[in-house]
Amino acid sequence: MMLSKQIENFLRALGKPLVAFLMSLGKLSVFIVRAVYHALTPPIYFKNFIKQVLEMGFYSVPVVGLTTIFAGMVIALQTYSGFSKYGAESAVANVVLISVTRELAPVLSALMVAGRIGAAMAAEIGTMKVTEQLDALVTLSTNPFKYLFAPRLWAGLCVLPLLVLFGDVIGVFGGYVVGVYKLGFNPANYINSTIENLEAIGIISGLIKAAVFGFIISLMGCYNGYKSKGGAQGVGQATTNAVVSASILVLIFNYLITEIFFAK
Amino acid sequence: MSDIKISIRDLKKSFGRKTVLNGVDLDIEQGESFVVIGGSGAGKSVLIKCIQGLLTPDSGSIQIDGVETTDNSNFNQKDMHAKMGMLFQGGALFDSLSVWENVAFALLENQKTPRDLAKVEAIRVLRQVGLAPDVADLYPSELSGGMQKRVGLARAIITKPEIIFFDEPTTGLDPIMADVINDLIVESAKGLGATTLTITHDMASVKKIADKVAMLYQGKIIWQGTVKEMEKTDNPYVVQFVSGSAQGPIKVEV
């Protein structure tokens, strides 16, 4: 008798968060379907899209540049110290190229943009929600999904690949700087080795990752802002959730996409 | 027999286990200034949001110009909103847009009016609500509460709507500014010949703007009549609310 009660309580404790999780998953799915539908149907608010592109893209350039250059530099250093044991120092250029274009530039850029833009998006939309600005949009015959969310989703999708392409170049350059000036490689040899190892699949997979990450960042920013409740506290919560969920999803999808491209 | 502009029958809405509207019946005539009073949490805002389609009621019927709005199949929400204006409690101005872009939002985004014409029109309506043209290029965060309300009012009336909703238009304003806003509400509604629905708990505002008053209590309309009738009624709920007394049948849940 006691045991069955305990089991019941245990299942209850287990069930409540599970139901809550499934419900939020359901809400998110509905949100995604609505957002994608409205992103693909007119009217399209082109001006809002351009504004978001500038906000997400242009102003993120310094952050992405700094992140990737140091990533490239540290990889060059680590690879050298690790590989010199096997006399494989010549692999430095190749390792830098592969790690930067396939992994470091897309993932690190996405995490930085998630912190910078995902948070700002959730805070802005969350504030609009709690101050009834979203309702005001509807009463002015304007769909918030089209006016606010669609431009952000498109911007995320388009801008991240451009940022990552830029990050690729800067990251590889960072590796070159360390390789040549610190580790004493011949500049011409380093460049040749980089060009020889350049392969389309590495770059392209990195850019596809970037597009997916950009979409995820915008989606989490919009979704968490849209469902925020209450006042300042609710908006703060939404901001945290947007950054955390976007970052985790970026890492998960990074693995999945890598598996699709490179698992043999 | 005058025309019924908004007709509500047995409207119900619950959030979780909490019933907010429990069978609301209401008829608002064309050109009338209708005020719904009720305590905080009585469901006034929910009522107004249901009429505008911002919330979906659980059951019941809402007809605007004889068209059922709770049935999505044969009516266009966008067309409905085109003939409505709303003044939100906190103004709900878009803080990323300047004052005139806020006021002219519907012209710019829906009617595709050229920007220069839209700005001229916005400044004209701003003047109508007592704001100088140089306010037009400011941002909402640079305005006082009373000015924000005026801008909100200008945004609500610029499209010359047939129905205007006012959500606690005087809340948070000093008594003099509240009276100014009340005057503006009466003026602009009469000027447009619009039907208005106001929700408030400010009795001074009710006396100033209402043709008809209804009291919402525990999710139902428990009394309605003209302002004169309100002052003479012996309905204990209305009497308590109008006099603002803690004693009476209405128990405040603390």
Domains of chain B: 1-83+164-171+195-254 (3.40.50.300)
Total length of chain B: 254
Q: How many CB pairs under 8 A join A and B?
A: 49
Complex-level ipTM beyond the 0.85 threshold: no
pLDDT at residue B72, as a whole number: 65
pLDDT tens per residue across span A54-79: 988 888 899 999 999 999 999 989 88
Domain range holding A117? 45-262
pLDDT at residue B85, as a whole number: 87
Q: Nearest C-alpha of chain A: how many angstroms from B57? A: 16
**Residue A58 to residues A67, A250, B131: CA-CA distances in angstroms?**
15, 21, 37
Residue B209 β-bridge partners: none
Please tell me if residue A47 touches chain B, with a CB cutoff of 8 Å.
Answer: no
Positions in chain B short of pLDDT 70? 1-2, 72-75, 252-254
pLDDT at residue A249, as a whole number: 93
Domain count along chain A? 1
In chain A, residues 131-170 whose CB comes closer than 8 Å to chain B: 131-133, 135-142, 147
Name residues whose C-beta falls within 8 Å of residue B106's C-beta, 6 or more positions apart in sequence.
A140, A141, B82, B155, B158, B159
Q: Nearest C-alpha of chain A: how many angstroms from B106? A: 6
The answer to whether residue A18 sits within a structural domain is no
Give me the percent of chain A exceeding a pLDDT of 70.
99
Sign of the Cα pseudo-torsion (A153, A155, A158, A163, in order): negative
The answer to whether residue A20 sits within a structural domain is no
- Statement: residue A256 has pLDDT above 90: yes
d(CA A229, CA A130): 6
pLDDT at residue B37, as a whole number: 86
**Residue B238 to residues B41, B46, B217, B219: CA-CA distances in angstroms?**
16, 21, 10, 15
- Statement: residue A130 has pLDDT above 60: yes
pLDDT at residue B252, as a whole number: 66
Answer whether B81 sits within 8 Å of A131, measured CB to CB.
no
Stretch A131-142: mean pLDDT, rounded? 87
pLDDT at residue B1, as a whole number: 41
Q: How many CB atoms lie within 10 A of CB B26?
A: 20
- By Cβ distance, the residue of B49, B78, B95 closest to A141 is B78
Place of tokens 């350049």: A198
- By Cβ distance, the residue of B88, B109, B110 closest to A136 is B88
Which residue of chain A has the CA closest to B107?
Answer: A140
Higher model confidence: residue A248 or residue B25? A248
d(CA A263, CA A194): 23
The answer to whether residue A35 sits within a structural domain is no
The answer to whether residue A1 sits within a structural domain is no
The angle that helices A150-177 and A46-56 make with each other, rounded to 10 degrees, is 30
Instruction: Please give the DSSP secondary-structure letter assigned to residue A44.
Output: -
pLDDT at residue A166, as a whole number: 94
Output b/e per residue, A52-72; b: 16+ Cβ within 10 A: bbebbbeebeebbbebbbebb
pLDDT at residue A247, as a whole number: 94
d(CA B208, CA B227): 9
